[in-house]
Amino acid sequence: MIVCAATNNAGKLKELRRILTRCGHEVRSLRELGVTLDPDETGTTFEENARIKAQAFCAATGLATVADDSGLCVEALHGEPGVYSARYAGCHGDDEANNRKLMDRMADLPEGSRAARFVSAVCLMLPDGRCLTVHGECPGRIALTPAGSNGFGYDPLFIPDRVGLPQGGTRPNTEGRTYAELADAEKDAISHRGRAMERLEAALPDFLQS
């Protein structure tokens, strides 16, 4: 199946392409399709925003479209930044400013009070109007200092509870490595987006036949 990956975020596109291609689908980016649409993400949940984006880009391209809305939820901050993760500091997509604001907000919190989770809602919208939405999470905590360069967004600040193994499965993240310090396979096996995409792939055959 040819799938439009509805994101302008280079890091997110890389992950979606890697996962969808591994599942046997051909992925087209918005740039490849010549689409410059920028729908307003007015939803109050990750699921609502994922559907808004999937619906808009599916209508614009005429292709099956996968859209993700994801973010970081910190327990001590009552779920912040949540659906505002990409624009937490005011400017959409300014990773450095978003990370700096998060670190400032958590400056007085000790290591035992820094629990957080990454959340992803992925919506597949078909041209006939049917849609399938799935959810994935990755629990962890916020680091005291950023580390790593293999990632984007809040990846240098997020320490997942577990990491993936080369032969499959996971193990405890005993080294305390951040998302941005993990190899792609280590991250895909435990990431919020990876979990959501696994659920999408598992549900897809019955959904397409319904």
- 184 an active-site residue? no
Exposed e or buried b per residue across 122-152, where buried means at least 16 C-beta atoms within 10 angstroms of its C-beta: bbbbbeeeebbbbbbebebbbbeebbbebbb
The active-site residue, picked from 69, 95, 155, 188, is 69
CB 114 within 8 A of CB 105: no
CA distances from 199 to 9, 67, 96, 120, 158 (A): 22, 14, 31, 11, 23
Catalytic residues: 69
